Amino acid sequence: MKTSSKLALAAATAMSSLCAFAGSANAQAFYLQEQSARAAGRAFSGEGADTGSSSLWWNPASIAGIDGIQANVSASLILPDGEIRNNGTAIVRPGQAAAPVGGYPVATNPIESGALPSGSVAVPIGDRLAVGLTFASPYSFTTDYDSGAWVRYSADRTRLRTYDIQPSIAFAVTPWLRIGGAANIEYAEATLTNALPNLSPALPDGLQSLSGDGWDVGWSAGAQADAGPVTVGLSYKSKIEHDLKGELNVSGLLGPLAAQNRSLSDVHATYSTPWQAIGSVRYAATNNLTLNAQVIRYGWSEFDAIRLGDPVNTAIPEDYKNSWSYAGGFDLKVDPKLTLRAGVQYAETPIRNDYRDARVPDSDRWNFATGASVQVSKAFAVDVAANYIRFKDAPITKPAGAYVGTPAQTLVGMNGELNDASAVVLSLGGRLSF
């Protein structure tokens, strides 16, 4: 077998994790929904039907007909908790019987805490037309396992950052109908490492690292309709086909594997993030109470594989499935200066049980939210929110391996579990109108 082909097989585990990330506070898999403190306070239950710059990420029609310039900025502090526990993972080296993988049997809090910023601005052009700009980071997190953890052959350290710039335009067709569209210009960068097994368990592990980045484009479109006290919002965010270009480095392999220690540049990895179809309703039950509901269908089946170009030329299956999230909540205006919020959200994971690994410790979850807005002045309001997210325990059983299809083939039968996972998310934002 050619050396480049051997190296490609050795690197398959690392390459497959380039985009397969999950953070404990994510909406689903590796998507972050914390793009507005106001939205967080009601568990993201009415965003596609609400108006103003704070809802631009979910529906570009939200700014049509605004009567002044609007701007908002938010930041969310994400505090995850949980453990990844080994239940008997075994490694099979060539010519040897299956043996325990070794390493620390419990990884505690591998997802790092972090802050997620976002913001939008909208400017009216006449009575019906408006333009806007949103900055978001929809796929971002860092996970860091100890180098001696039991999951080291499938995950070590992973850092993903995406930056989404969404220019939008919206038009009020009639007093009751608004439409809008947007481009999603997205930059993604990723760095990750994981261990590679040497042929003898007495030898230290090798190491591989991968980094890459790239710019890609998608689009969003939406509409909102008012019918008396009811506002309905429908929107769609397209998938984004990413092409990351970067470098792959392999080191620390000994004996017969030593020839595979090298660096490759111009490595390409392509993958798609999911589309979203969003349906949202807001009902003004009284002058002070608004009820919200939102359903999102995520097209995670687009993330079916990660395809690797020259010089690797292979594909790693991911086999994600389409999934749903459901949310309900309310806004209660206590007085002209204070609005209280609360909501509940349930979200399915798109990861099949037999495809879950330590890089993606994702599962079905409940999100319980509360929040408030304080109108500091006629032009400025402050939004605060707190979310508690509880994850279902789930198995981690996706097999790992290295040098597959060669005489050095080494397989790892993953047998672990995500236990007691939760997250607290604290959000703070400000809204300005003038």
What is the per-residue pLDDT across 208-222, written as a single tens digit (0 to 9) for each? Answer: 888 899 999 999 999
Residue with the larger pLDDT of the pair 339 and 1: 339
What ranges make up the beta strands (E) of 305-415? 305-308, 314-317, 323-335, 338-347, 365-375, 380-391, 394-396, 400-402, 410-413
**CB-based burial of residue 285 (10 Å sphere; 0-12 exposed, 13-18 middle, 19+ buried)?**
exposed
Q: How many CA atoms lie within 13 A of 408 on its CB side?
A: 20
Residue 389 has pLDDT above 80, yes or no: yes
Q: What is the pLDDT of residue 27?
A: 64
Mean pLDDT (whole number) for 41-67 = 97
Residue 5 has pLDDT above 70, yes or no: no
pLDDT band of residue 164 (cuts 50, 70, 90) is very high
Q: What is the pLDDT of residue 157?
A: 86
Q: What is the pLDDT of residue 139?
A: 86
Comparing CA positions, the residue from 423, 401, 418, 419 lying closest to residue 410 is 401
Dist. CA 147–CA 99, nearest whole Å: 19
27: left (phi over 0), alpha (psi -120 to 50) or beta: alpha
Percent above pLDDT 70 for the chain: 94
Find the farthest-apart pair of alpha carbons in the chain and give their distance in angstroms, rounded. Answer: 76
Residue 13 has pLDDT above 70, yes or no: no
Neighbours of 149 (CB within 10 A): 23
Dist. CA 360–CA 20, nearest whole Å: 6
Q: What is the pLDDT of residue 358?
A: 84
Sign of CA dihedral 210, 18, 89, 408: negative
* Domain boundary assignment for the chain: 3-433
Residues 136-145: b if buried by 16+ CB within 10 A, e if exposed = bbbbbbbbbb
Residue with the larger pLDDT of the pair 398 and 296: 296
Structure tokens belonging to residue 89:
């993972």
- Domain 3-433 in CATH 2.40.160.60? The answer is yes
Q: What is the pLDDT of residue 26?
A: 56
Mean pLDDT score of the chain, rounded to an integer?
Answer: 90
